Amino acid sequence: MNDLGAGFGYLVKGQRWVAGHGRWFGFGLLPGLITLVVYAGALVGLAYGADDFVAWATPFADDWSSPWLGLLRTTLTALVFLFGLFLAVVTFTAVTLLVGQPFYDSLSEEVERSEGGEVHESGLPLWRELWISARDSVRILLRVAFFGIILFACGFIPVVGQTVVPAIGVCVSGFFLAEELTGVALQRRGLVLKKRLGLLRRRRLLVLGFGVPLALSFLVPFVAVFLMPGAVAGATLLARDLVEPGEGNTPGTGTGDTAVAAKEWTAPGS
């Protein structure tokens, strides 16, 4: 329980940090605003098209009598929209971080600088960092999709599907949101995705304390945009706690797992 509270504390500290550094708050808003416009359009389209999709996917129910036809398709339409919303919540951070990689790297470095101690740098060109971030985001999204499909199927279980499944879904969203956000600071330390996930699993309650409240707040689109700069700041502070002394690369160098991972994106002979 202490770890849950401490995780939430990092979220609060991050919001306080950007509140006290107004220039960085405005700087960090831009990627979220761009992503929000795109996602809002996609969710509006899903809201209008979900019932048509469900009708197309359930032709076997065309001859069902009332109220069963309406009950089935209304339930499935709601589940399709909720599944889309679930994916939007989880992928919003990944897409925003990809769009705003230079913005959030600078913000994260400034947070570490203000906290004192070493400021880590990957030492990689921007294009390599973007490639690594994009690849890791795809891997995370595949994991999220796997959990999402399972949770979607479990949603049909009476009672459990309306109580336990949504709670698990929020925890899954919170965990992977925390991974994406801490990845800004951890990638600079030379930690590849596998090691980052290991760090987060090792302190699961701490991570959930940070990620779950954020996932719930991200259900409100405008809130997500305004919390994003502080979420990056808080995740940077959290990352400093997660990493044991000696883990990752040396500040200002490109050594460590990130540099190794970057080689995978270098064409043969280059």
- Is 215 within the bounds of a domain? yes
User: What are 161's two structure tokens?
Assistant: 């599907």
Mean pLDDT, residues 207-227: 85
Mean pLDDT, residues 210-222: 84
How far, in Å, CA of 211 to CA of 235, rounded?
A: 9
What's the pTM value of the predicted model, to 2 decimals? 0.70
Which domain range does residue 166 map to?
A: 2-263
More confident residue, 232 or 156: 232
SS3 per residue for the chain: CHHHHHHHHHHHHHHHHHHCCHHHHHHHHHHHHHHHHHHHHHHHHHHHHHHHHHHHHCHHHCCCCCCHHHHHHHHHHHHHHHHHHHHHHHHHHHHHHHHCHHHHHHHHHHHHHHHCCCCCCCCCCHHHHHHHHHHHHHHHHHHHHHHHHHHHHHCCCCCHHHHHHHHHHHHHHHHHHHHHHHHHHHHHCCCCHHHHHHHHHHCHHHHHHHHHHHHHHCCCHHHHHHHHHHHHHHHHHHHHHHCCCCCCCCCCCCCCHHHHHHHCCCCCCC
Average pLDDT, the chain: 79
Position 2 scores a pLDDT of 82
| Model confidence at 68: pLDDT above 70 | yes
How far, in Å, CA of 124 to CA of 129, rounded?
A: 6
Contact 102/31 with Cβ under 8 angstroms?
Answer: no
- Is 33 within the bounds of a domain? yes
- Is 141 within the bounds of a domain? yes
Mean pLDDT, residues 11-40: 88
| Model confidence at 267: pLDDT above 60 | no
pLDDT band at 270; cut points 50, 70, 90: very low
| Model confidence at 17: pLDDT above 80 | yes
Position 135 scores a pLDDT of 82
| Model confidence at 25: pLDDT above 80 | yes
- Is 268 within the bounds of a domain? no
Position 241 scores a pLDDT of 85
Position 247 scores a pLDDT of 55
Question: Of 178, 27, 200, nearest to 110 (Cα)?
Answer: 27
Residue with tokens 């879904």, as numbered in its chain: 169
- Is 192 within the bounds of a domain? yes
Q: How many domains does the chain have?
A: 1
Position 96 scores a pLDDT of 81
- Is 269 within the bounds of a domain? no
- Is 219 within the bounds of a domain? yes
| Model confidence at 69: pLDDT above 80 | no
Angle between helices 221-242 and 68-99 (to 10 degrees): 60
Position 145 scores a pLDDT of 80
Contact 58/73 with Cβ under 8 angstroms?
Answer: yes
User: What are 124's two structure tokens?
Assistant: 């990689």
Handedness of CA 154, 157, 162, 168 (dihedral sign): negative
Position 51 scores a pLDDT of 81
More confident residue, 13 or 248: 13
| Model confidence at 253: pLDDT above 50 | no
More confident residue, 123 or 78: 78
Per-residue pLDDT reduced to its tens digit, 155-196: 778 877 778 888 888 899 899 889 888 988 888 888 888 888
| Model confidence at 16: pLDDT above 70 | yes
How far, in Å, CA of 152 to CA of 25, rounded?
A: 36
| Model confidence at 260: pLDDT above 50 | no
